[in-house]
């Protein structure tokens, strides 16, 4: 069934966080619902819509930034009490706006996630999970990595409390009381959890999750073990999931799945073939969709999807058909509501403009005085710097509540910028070859009008570590800029996993010395991404990583006074050795580093690289042939005369070109890594083979696996 949705913007509040908007339930069916939303200024706004105009119900005073907003109430009654979490405090409001609860948790960190079920309150700060019942402390759990979201399976159905935590280390943790019941690995860092169909399905055990790399899935959390029901990969390379809801927008009796992403895409999936959902409809907002819920707000009898976006817009995608009468005259009849709305907006604008001009003058006058000071207005930047597994690149997303004017990118290590289609800004890269200030990258992005979100792609080189800085200038007077810093770690292309292949030939680096557990952990944090900053509980810890580009692995096991780093890639070990010794010298700690090199590992790594290299070479070769073959095709009129191999190339030309465009630097990167491998292999033997690199490149130029292996064996 074709779904036609029209966007209606209702109201704008301050910048919103994830999951901070809800629709208040009504007792009767199809009656109009009210919207309640909390923003980062700390204001809770509740409003309804009358004749297309938002009518406020209540609005609280500004305060600390609101991190979550949930609805609650006694079990089996209407869930119409509003709970907001801000700082370390949870407040409760009735639907009329009367505050009935103010609960200070005394947590040292501010609350990140909240879930409410009857009298049970589940709160999560960065690593800590707390369960309160009637505001009394019940259970406590310390998670290994940051907690992004929390929920509890419906108590009505299961008659026991089963909290589920979504943790940054790609794991869902299911608790029982204060103890871990079991863990379940998911394909990406989970960023949001929701009960399937709003109630956990028939069993009450079905939990939906969305990850920050854009995947979604459904898991059945039973009392003994979890079972994955379905998952959807992020093939279109869309943004991370911020919110989800189940709602029957089509009106066919089956609830559709609503997904809001951080690149502004809202997706509607339905369950036509029972199990795995199918994408039915999508709508693109220009900024992150922070909350989504289905309901009836704008007009009675018409269902709609209400969303809130990063800059605080509450909009609806309504099923109400847009009445547009194309009159006989030239003017399209604008509906009265519309006209009034525009008129009042224009009036507001005029008033504001006058006021702003006055203030501007005052500000200017201020600058004459020698004692006055001038502050920088703060603005919030919503940023994300993540490693993509499929092309081993980092993507940097910057989002500001107002339009961005210019972004300056600066980096003190060599990195490459890749073009992103979505990004329409005019890029200008400054030549840094003879740059006297040690910059390796200086680039300006001049954004087109109304750009609030900028996406960039960055290719890093392992072993070259430093800081990437983004200076963001929004289009607001007085002009200011804010710096955001991102660490490019020494092993920047590694990603956390939970299992590794134990049969590979491994090189081991052993670290011994007078260092504490916290110290060695801080070194690991310094070297590798996706490691929690907090020193883990216990005496020792193991982390597993995978190189996203080469698929080699790394195992780190360490405790007070000793650490073992095992990898099948000799370059990884070499980088670790360099960085660790440098760090230790900096802190004047006496370290003994010893390396146990497994000769077989080099050939093993080369064999791992082989299929990638061969594929890239073939691709390059094929792409080179496309034009010539096409020319022959025009000449001869068809492709029958070609050998099947060439005919295939002509037929698959589009796909090949697309593939080739997607990874323009892959071949160079592979060459670079093979060269590093070559140098590192002999570095551990104590020979410097830099002079032989040109020879190696020559061999790579006419690549053949055996020749390369032989060269690696014979050189030195």
Partner 1 sequence: MLVPVFTLKLNHKILPRMVALGRYDGTHPCLTAATQAGKVFIHNPHARSQRVSANRLVLSAQDSDISLLNINEAVSCLTAGVLNPTLGYDSLLVGTQTSLLAYDVHNNADLFYEGVPDGANAVVLGTLGDISSPLAIIGGNCSLQGFNHEGKDLFWTVTGDNVRSLALCDFHGDGKNELLVGSDDFDIRVFKEDEIAAEISETEAVTALTPMCTCRFGYALSNGTVGVYDKMARYWRIKSKNQAVSIYAFDLNSDGVNELITGWSNGKVDARNDRTGEVIFKDNFASSIAGIVQGDYRMDGNTQLICCSVDGEVRGYLPGNQEMKGSFADSTAEQDLIRELSQKKQNLLLELRNYEENAKQVELNTQVTEMDGQRGVIPANTQLQTTLAVNLGSDTQSAHVELCISTSNDTIIRAALIFAEGIFEGESHVVHPNLQNVSSRIKVPLTPPKDVPVDLHIKAFVGYKNSMQFHVFELTRQLPRFAMYTLSKPDSAPEPRSFVKFTISERVQRVVMWVNQSFLLTEEMETQSTSFQVRFTSLRNAGQLCIKMNSSGEISIGTDDIDLAGDIIQSMTSFLAIEDLQVEADFPVYFEELRKALIKVDESYSVCQKLTTNMADSSNFIRSMLVRAEDSRLMGDMKNMKRRYMELYNLNKDLLSEYKIRCTNHTEFLNNLKAINQAIQRAGRLRVGKPKMQVIAACRDAIKNDNINMLFRIMRVGTASS
Q: Does 483 bind partner 1 (CB under 8 A)?
A: yes
Taking the complex as a whole, the smallest distance from the CB of residue 452 to partner 1 amounts, in Å, to 9
DSSP string, 408-463: EEEESS--EEE--TT--PEEEEPP-TT-TT--SEEEEEEPPTT--EEEEEEE--TT
Q: Which of residues 612-631 bind partner 1 (CB under 8 A)?
A: 627, 630-631
Between 377 and 664, whose beta carbon lies closer to partner 1? 377
Among 107, 181, 476, 608, binds partner 1 (CB under 8 A): 476
Q: Does 284 bind partner 1 (CB under 8 A)?
A: no
Instruction: List strand residue ranges (DSSP E) for 63-135, in order.
Output: 66-72, 81-86, 89-93, 99-104, 113-117, 120-124, 128-133
> Taking CB under 8 A as the rule, which mask of x and - marks residues 200-239 in contact with partner 1?
----------------------------------------
Q: What are phi and psi of 136, to 5 degrees?
A: -110, 135
Q: Does 457 bind partner 1 (CB under 8 A)?
A: no
Between 389 and 457, whose beta carbon lies closer to partner 1? 457
Among 363, 600, 618, 651, binds partner 1 (CB under 8 A): 363
Q: Does 321 bind partner 1 (CB under 8 A)?
A: no
Taking the complex as a whole, the smallest distance from the CB of residue 20 to partner 1 amounts, in Å, to 18
Taking a C-beta distance cutoff of 8 angstroms, is the pair 172, 166 a contact?
yes
Between 165 and 425, whose beta carbon lies closer to partner 1? 425
CB under 8 Å to 433, separation ≥6 — which residues? none
Among 4, 94, 402, 592, binds partner 1 (CB under 8 A): 402
Q: Does 340 bind partner 1 (CB under 8 A)?
A: no
Among 450, 516, 592, 594, binds partner 1 (CB under 8 A): 450
Q: Does 662 bind partner 1 (CB under 8 A)?
A: no
Q: Cα separations (Å) of 320 from 5, 6, 240, 249?
A: 7, 7, 29, 11
Q: Which of residues 117-136 bind partner 1 (CB under 8 A)?
A: none
Among 26, 222, 380, 482, binds partner 1 (CB under 8 A): 482
Range in contact with partner 1 (rule: CB under 8 A) among 143-151, 400-408, 599-607, 702-710: 400-408
Range in contact with partner 1 (rule: CB under 8 A) among 84-92, 175-183, 415-423, 705-713: 415-423
Range in contact with partner 1 (rule: CB under 8 A) among 16-24, 53-61, 248-256, 427-435: 427-435
Alpha-carbon distance of 421 to 418, in angstroms, equals: 10
CB neighbour class for 96 (10 Å; exposed up to 12, middle 13-18, buried from 19): exposed
* b/e sequence 326-362, b meaning 16+ C-beta within 10 Å: eeeeeeeeeeeeeeeeeeeeeeeeeeeeeeeeeeeee
Taking the complex as a whole, the smallest distance from the CB of residue 496 to partner 1 amounts, in Å, to 29
Q: Cα separations (Å) of 495 from 172, 629, 691?
A: 18, 41, 33
* Cα distance from N-terminal residue to C-terminal residue, the chain: 69
Between 104 and 661, whose beta carbon lies closer to partner 1? 661
Residue that has been written with the tokens 């070859």 in this structure:
433
Tokens of 571: 């370059």
Q: Does 62 bind partner 1 (CB under 8 A)?
A: no
Taking the complex as a whole, the smallest distance from the CB of residue 1 to partner 1 amounts, in Å, to 21
Tokens of 636: 């001869």
Q: Does 539 bind partner 1 (CB under 8 A)?
A: no
Alpha-carbon distance of 2 to 663, in angstroms, equals: 36
Among 134, 179, 235, 431, binds partner 1 (CB under 8 A): 431
Q: Does 634 bind partner 1 (CB under 8 A)?
A: yes
* Closest of 577, 573, 621, 623 to residue 601, by C-alpha: 573
Alpha-carbon distance of 445 to 424, in angstroms, equals: 9
Other Cβ atoms less than 10 A from the Cβ of 92: the count is: 17
Q: Does 331 bind partner 1 (CB under 8 A)?
A: yes
Assess whether the previous peptide bond of 397 is cis (omega < 30° from 0). Answer: no
Taking the complex as a whole, the smallest distance from the CB of residue 299 to partner 1 amounts, in Å, to 15
Taking the complex as a whole, the smallest distance from the CB of residue 242 to partner 1 amounts, in Å, to 21
Range in contact with partner 1 (rule: CB under 8 A) among 69-77, 348-356, 523-531, 612-620: 348-356
Q: Which of residues 573-602 bind partner 1 (CB under 8 A)?
A: none
Taking the complex as a whole, the smallest distance from the CB of residue 100 to partner 1 amounts, in Å, to 31
Q: 334 by DSSP, 3-state: which?
A: coil
Among 26, 60, 203, 444, binds partner 1 (CB under 8 A): 444
Taking a C-beta distance cutoff of 8 angstroms, is the pair 220, 236 a contact?
no
Among 98, 323, 362, 588, binds partner 1 (CB under 8 A): 362
Between 228 and 435, whose beta carbon lies closer to partner 1? 435
Residue that has been written with the tokens 């899935």 in this structure:
217
Between 424 and 514, whose beta carbon lies closer to partner 1? 424
Between 283 and 544, whose beta carbon lies closer to partner 1? 283
Among 326, 503, 586, 686, binds partner 1 (CB under 8 A): 326
Among 359, 614, 624, 651, binds partner 1 (CB under 8 A): 359
Range in contact with partner 1 (rule: CB under 8 A) among 107-115, 156-164, 398-406, 539-547: 398-406
Taking the complex as a whole, the smallest distance from the CB of residue 238 to partner 1 amounts, in Å, to 18
Taking the complex as a whole, the smallest distance from the CB of residue 249 to partner 1 amounts, in Å, to 19
Q: Does 446 bind partner 1 (CB under 8 A)?
A: yes
What are the beta bridge partners of residue 400?
381
Residues in the chain: 716
Among 410, 460, 572, 605, binds partner 1 (CB under 8 A): 410
Q: Does 505 bind partner 1 (CB under 8 A)?
A: no
Q: Does 473 bind partner 1 (CB under 8 A)?
A: yes
Host H or E run for residue 258: strand 256-261
Taking the complex as a whole, the smallest distance from the CB of residue 672 to partner 1 amounts, in Å, to 25
Host H or E run for residue 135: none
Between 179 and 421, whose beta carbon lies closer to partner 1? 421
DSSP string, 503-518: TS--EEEEEEES--HH
Taking a C-beta distance cutoff of 8 angstroms, is the pair 70, 83 a contact?
yes
Taking a C-beta distance cutoff of 8 angstroms, is the pair 581, 509 a contact?
no
CB under 8 Å to 102, separation ≥6 — which residues? 89, 90, 91, 92
Range in contact with partner 1 (rule: CB under 8 A) among 120-128, 474-482, 609-617, 681-689: 474-482
Q: Does 273 bind partner 1 (CB under 8 A)?
A: no
Q: Does 345 bind partner 1 (CB under 8 A)?
A: yes
* Closest of 436, 439, 435 to residue 466, by C-alpha: 439
Instruction: List strand residue ranges (DSSP E) for 87-195, in order.
Output: 89-93, 99-104, 113-117, 120-124, 128-133, 136-142, 147-152, 163-167, 171-176, 179-185, 190-195
């Amino acid at each position: 069934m074709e779904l036609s949705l029209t966007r209606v913007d209702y109201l704008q509040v301050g910048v919103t966080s994830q999951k901070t908007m809800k629709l208040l339930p009504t007792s009767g069916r199809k009656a109009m619902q009210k919207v309640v939303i909390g923003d980062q200024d700390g204001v809770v706004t509740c409003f309804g819509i009358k004749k297309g105009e938002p009518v406020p119900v209540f609005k609280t005073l500004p305060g600390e930034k609101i991190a979550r907003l949930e609805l609650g109430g006694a079990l089996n009654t209407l869930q119409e009490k509003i709970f907001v979490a801000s700082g370390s405090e949870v407040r409760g409001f009735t639907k009329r706006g009367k505050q009935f609860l103010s609960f200070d948790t005394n947590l040292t960190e501010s609350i990140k996630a909240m879930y409410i079920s009857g009298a049970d309150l589940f709160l999560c700060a960065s690593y800590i999970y707390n369960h309160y019942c009637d505001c009394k402390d019940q259970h406590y759990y310390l998670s290994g990595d940051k907690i992004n979201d929390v929920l509890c399976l419906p108590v009505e159905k299961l008659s026991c409390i089963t909290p589920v935590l979504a943790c940054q280390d790609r794991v869902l943790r299911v608790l029982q009381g204060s103890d871990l019941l079991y863990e379940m690995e998911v394909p990406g860092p989970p960023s949001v959890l929701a009960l399937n169909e709003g109630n956990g399905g028939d069993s009450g055990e079905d939990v939906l999750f969305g990850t920050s790399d854009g995947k979604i899935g459904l898991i059945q959390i039973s009392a003994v073990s979890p079972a994955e029901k379905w998952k959807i990969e992020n093939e279109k390379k869309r943004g991370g999931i911020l919110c989800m809801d189940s709602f029957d927008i089509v009106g066919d009796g089956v609830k559709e799945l609503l997904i809001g992403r951080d690149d502004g895409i809202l997706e509607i999936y339905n369950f036509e073939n029972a199990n795995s959902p199918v994408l039915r409809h999508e709508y693109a907002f220009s900024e992150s969709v922070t909350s989504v819920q289905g309901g009836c707000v704008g007009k009675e009898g018409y269902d709609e999807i209400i969303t809130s976006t990063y800059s605080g817009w509450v909009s609806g995608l309504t099923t109400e058909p847009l009445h547009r009468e194309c009159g006989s005259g030239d003017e399209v009849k604008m509906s009265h509501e519309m006209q009034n709305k525009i008129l009042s907006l224009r009036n507001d604008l005029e008033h504001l403009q006058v006021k702003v001009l006055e203030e501007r003058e005052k500000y200017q006058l201020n600058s004459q005085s020698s004692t006055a000071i001038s502050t920088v207005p703060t603005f919030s930047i919503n940023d994300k710097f993540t490693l993509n597994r499929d092309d081993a690149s980092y993507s940097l997303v910057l989002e500001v509540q107002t339009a961005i004017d210019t972004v300056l990118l600066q980096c003190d290590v060599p990195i490459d910028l890749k073009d992103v289609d979505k990004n329409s800004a005019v890029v200008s890269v400054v030549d840094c070859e003879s740059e006297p200030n040690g910059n390796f990258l200086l680039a300006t992005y001049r954004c087109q009008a109304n750009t609030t979100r900028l996406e960039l792609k960055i290719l890093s080189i392992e072993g070259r570590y430093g800081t990437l800085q983004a200076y963001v200038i929004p289009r607001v007077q007085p002009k200011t800029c804010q710096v955001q810093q991102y660490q490019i770690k020494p092993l920047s292309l590694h990603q956390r996993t939970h299992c590794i292949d134990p049969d590979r030939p491994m090189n081991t680096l052993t670290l011994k010395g007078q260092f504490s557990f916290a110290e060695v952990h801080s070194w690991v944090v310094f070297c590798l991404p996706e490691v929690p900053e907090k020193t883990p509980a216990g005496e020792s810890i193991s982390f597993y990583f995978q190189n996203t580009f080469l698929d080699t692995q790394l195992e780190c096991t360490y405790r007070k006074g000793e650490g073992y780093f095992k990898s099948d890639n000799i370059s990884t070990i070499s980088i670790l050795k360099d960085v660790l010794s440098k760090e230790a010298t900096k802190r004047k700690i006496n370290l003994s580093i010893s390396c146990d090199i497994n000769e077989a590992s080099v050939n093993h790594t080369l064999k791992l690289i082989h299929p990638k290299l061969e594929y890239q070479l073939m691709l390059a070769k094929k792409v080179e042939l496309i034009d010539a073959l096409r020319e022959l095709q025009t000449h001869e009129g068809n492709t029958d005369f070609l050998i099947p191999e060439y005919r295939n190339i002509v037929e698959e030309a589009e796909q090949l070109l697309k593939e080739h465009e997607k990874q323009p630097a892959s071949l160079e990167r592979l060459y670079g890594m093979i060269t590093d491998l070559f140098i590192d292999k002999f570095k551990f033997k104590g020979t410097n083979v830099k002079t032989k690199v040109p020879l190696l490149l020559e061999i790579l130029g006419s690549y053949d696996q055996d020749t390369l292996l032989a060269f690696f064996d014979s050189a030195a």
